[in-house]
Amino acid sequence: MSRHTKIVATLGPASSEAQVLERMVHAGVDVVRMNFSHGTAEDHVARAVAIREAAALAGRPVGILADLQGPKIRVGKFADGRVELHRGAPFILDARCELGDAERVGLDYKDLPKDVSAGDVLLLDDGRLKLSVVRVLNHEIHTVVKVGGTLSNNKGINRQGGGLTAPALTAKDMDDIKTAARIGVDFVAVSFPKSAADMYMARQLMRASGVDALLIAKIERTEAVANLDEILDASDGIMVARGDLAVEVGDAAVPALQKKMIRAARDRNKLTITATQMMESMIVSPVPTRAEVSDVANAVLDGTDAVMLSAETASGKFPVEVVEAMSRVCLEAEKSSDVSLDRDVLNRVFTRIDQSIAMAAIWTAWHLKVKAIASLTQTGSTALWMSRLNSGVPIYALTPEAGARNQMTLYREVFPLLMSQSHQDRDMLLWEAEQILLDQGVVERGDLIVLTIGEPIGASGGTNTLKIVRVGDHPRPDGAEH
């Protein structure tokens, strides 16, 4: 059985060797994430070369996602690397401090004192420590420790309830977009966007650098939740980044927000990645906890396109085993996924011919219980629309464009394949598509399949034909021997 939910794995020191990458691809990785918060441009370029070689050896496409660092607001460094903060003790965040101690620490975001005022609560290290702001004096934020603990170098800062004004794209991000262009990434994720304007700016910078990638907005700010609809309209997809989001809105609010965001994205024909601590225990353990298994399964049942691994594959002890475990959980959860095509299709309005063909293909495939759908596509749009409705029928997207094939590695239920589509005869192309499915072993002679294609051949957005065939029931159209 083919897994419909895709797996995104973050690359790092634990997953940089060619042998490990090959094993991860065989275990089921569909997209690799390059975290631009760590490593040099040359590190990312070398990993991109390695993953492409591993994918070629495995004979299956693997997409590459560049995750921009964004304005991660952090404390500076301590003289001793860390300090212990005790409840009730005073502590100063000082924009001009060079090396911190038990009384104060520097800031990498020098404008933070302008963003906070007395009464605000600052959350450090993903909410593990809490500071209450007493007063702000020029470049100093004077606080009292509400929840203490160990604070080490470069830990992140959030304000409870959000509202920090740091721009979504930094000078470093702009340089990293140029690195993404060198690599030829398939997806770019923007960290901490607050509005559609942030996403429009990112897209302009990508175009100026020659990056032809899908744009993913990471939803991790309170403002982003409020502006979700406009951010979705300005993006190709979203990442439900549950770590920083939980710090700003409160951990109890995240599960319902996850469901809401996935549903909103699917309704707008956008992609979704569910991320953060999905199998956190497997950084050091060869098996996940039962809670983690339930978390991954629930994301699958919510309809997410992909589930993401972070430190589990970047720096964990079991990068291959965690991919295998996640794949098993996804497969099992998909067996009980809710199919509500009747309701979903009846509640949609179609204004385009190609979109109508996509919906008709899904409807027909589900009701006729066909083995597979084969969609001949240039950009992957038809396959994307089909994948927004959960039918349980695998969609094989056949495209002559390597870039489109790699981008479709993130689409739920879609399995992208290269097909030359070098001639103009429609019946011949459909017959060739049938042969590709036979060669791949996904259908057998006698199976019923649904095919979609557009005329004129090769025109983007021109899907206008749906055909239902029984595999092997008709000869090669040009009369030649197969």
Catalytic positions are: 33, 74, 218, 276
Dist CA 458 CA 390 (whole Å): 28
* DSSP class per residue in 67-111: E------BB-EETTSEEEE-TT-EEEEETT-SEE-SSEE-BSSTT
* DSSP class per residue in 317-374: S-HHHHHHHHHHHHHHHHTT----HHHHHHT----SHHHHHHHHHHHHHHHHT-SEEE
Contact 76, 99 (CB under 8 A): yes
**Quick one: CA dihedral 197, 198, 201, 202, positive or negative?**
negative
Residue 248 contacts by C-beta under 8 Å, 6 or more apart in sequence? 158, 159, 160, 161, 162, 220, 221, 222
CA distances from 43 to 39, 181, 190, 341 (A): 6, 15, 20, 45
Q: Can you say how many angstroms the Cα of residue 105 is from the centroid of all Cα atoms in its chain?
A: 34
Strands, E assignment, 387-460: 395-399, 414-418, 448-454
